[in-house]
Chain A
């Protein structure tokens, strides 16, 4: 079998039916094979970065690895941002790149790049295949590595002569790998955690993307555990939806722009149970003031995440679903105990924090407040079978705060890398995976422009993605930091010379909607939802709104800013060096 045929066969054998890609000289034999088959549908993006983000959202919303096919040189380098994004957020993506023929490697051939060298630090693993006989095994290994353990992006670089040459194909069953991450947690540690849970007076579950990566069963077990113990629960940006946003024990998102009650509960708790999160700096705030009085447990499948920045007392290495199952078993076997009297007091404290109503904002009858826009979007779409993607900036944080995610795999956002330009291609990937569902990209105008070429992809494949742009004519999040940190000197944070988004939509053949009056908003959103095709919704919002609550850089969880009145001198010199 030829190498290029093997590529297609391996994808089929891995259960792949969708590939995002872009052709070029070094992958022509593979594209020729794609032309001659019907099992795999190829989606032609407009930029390779878009292919990777689309594949990420495909993966995030289905639980299956996303697959990308691009050419050598610029095709591969364009994929680097997507790979880094997927690495930071632990998203399983398999990227196949073409390479110049083996006998030309190292000669600075046309469109030659050291792809495995360039992508080594931004993939979980990568391979350069020099022999067609090794190709099938490598491809199957790539899928295994991408989706086992802590998931992540992998890349297989395939020189053109390897694609043309004949070799022996082997199926996935023959794949051998010493890479077999441990799924079950240590029972002794689990028992120690359960014992701590039984007596804890102020416990909290702090959950992250790992719950979602562990699969729907993990979310189900988490819900069972929360209901059984009546502990409060918060989540990182990446973990939204693993516990329902309308659930009784939900405190809302935590972290830099997290809810007051969530951050205060994290600060004051006496038992913190981290499930599949990684103590990221957006979460912890000032490290030496991070939850000073608590015993900390950490469930993670990646040993390097444990004790990386925060010392934990009860480390549990394993897969979230497996560990949660054992926690429930042990907890039940030991008599289903919690310190219910103390818990009642704890909930009382939490309810007092809730009374602050940290998400309240000054409403306006003339100008659309971005928070209001999202509240209305939420109200009018919450009963839909809905997937939300975002770009990066204030709008992203507002979407996390004002929209409700009741199920896992419904929320696609760039967390770790914070990649502007993620949302448009991600909405395409999610829509490809869920053709009949409502897919909305909550965007900022600046981010949206970064990968807007992908509207062409949406048009070509009839993907009715809704681009909901909160247009503040500002790099809003940058502007907010300049206001707080740099004496209101707004250096380069204006979005100048913006296109007319309605005409732009029409130029693509999509529908454009402009809305600037709060009174028209509901009707305009309904018009967007009613339209059977891609929509670009230009929602003109208040230009100077800041995103609150906010833990300023270098501050602790209990030093949150709740509104504009508090921002003067909020960040000191040591905080201003932080990102």
Chain B
């Protein structure tokens, strides 16, 4: 009945128990709050079952915010350990627990913060930018979200029941094989990623089709906003890369569950195959994350420079070149695995080649600002922060793409500093910029600028204080993932500095949450009543804030780039009557059901409760079957209601 799940799975040391308590108490208090405020029905009706991309987007954003806190606590725990642990056994975490923390941190930050944040922004904005009423497959959109959430839940459940992988975020075999990781940690890792990964893949299909099929009339490919281009590129990368991840993890799980030998050294398996495959996904993955961030910058730099984007065609070409090249560089993650000089040199040069289109983008942003009138709002500050940190990260990346140099820097803290430089300074700053920029559109009111700027400065300073020491430590020969250092190494003082930096970042995150709250309280007088909060150029700003259920009363007609800018110049608003009935998808609980069954499947796989597998698969099948008979999946918003909504938002 319970597979290998016994009461021992709940019993851990004192620090783990703290983690268990936080998760359980947090969960229980949310449930109680909902019950006492009688919000259950509202929650299901308005949110959990919603097929509205804008609401699904907000749920992605909330999930990313929660996971940022969880991943951030992990980070503080690691920094804390390294700042006090001088000499073996002197920290407060056991070596195994330390390993679980760094593994969970990486997985959470990449999959459940960065990816989730990205899909949040895409859902909220992309349909609006292309002048669409919704995504191509609204139900599948909800399923994607719920599968992602299921992955996150499964991962966090490992805090309470059992353990998490102690292998690093990529779970290299043979360490991740049964022989060295007999516990359930790696299984949690595998199934959290498999389930979330399928959600991601479905979302990519959805957005590719949405971009290809749902654009407003007149919006040719070369008239799409650059954000749309970068999302298209990123989703194409997902489409090609995520199946590799799924296949690789499937092989690992076969090794673990039924004793196969894909990646063991015995019986002809080979761990090097895993290393190749996981990076054949892993390198495109970093571009999946950064490309939409580039897109966001390409949207806001023109708006805040009050000038057209310079070099649109170059931007598009550069984006596509990056997309293609990013599939041909994965070997740079293991130059030290013994490949010959020809192979290493080839992949090193291919890696550097990515710097060319990336450099072009930087020049184009700079020349968008050139002879502009730059307004330093919070989003623009994030861009400036990105620009300078990204130049540093790009340099260190190119440095490591020279194989003999990488022989020395690989697996050192220099590498760790490089990718945080890219993922924080590039990806996260990009998404923060996007959130600050589109917040009025998503929620209908603007953010407190001064607090937003304060958060930005804290982030920048915290980033420098936390990661510049890591570059230096790398040059001192310190490797990653050490749970203690020796006093004689001289590493300790810099690790203390890095902890201070991490605390500054924690403060920055707190200020961010605080500034959301303050702005929420003052939402009445921060209301975006025009719908065009910043003087925007693209279609999302042509509708009200927040956008109505149906996004646009009339589907806009596009006559060129910067479609809304043109409309404004001609004095059109695109909202005048007469109005028509609009069809919208009805709410559906299908996504919740499928995700629920997927959860059972994952949990059953982790704990070897084999009976759960047929039950959950059958459940998913029946759910889909039932849905396929549903005929009334849409409802009508009558023209009168549209007229009333429009009049309410835009009193003439």
Physical interaction between A and B: no
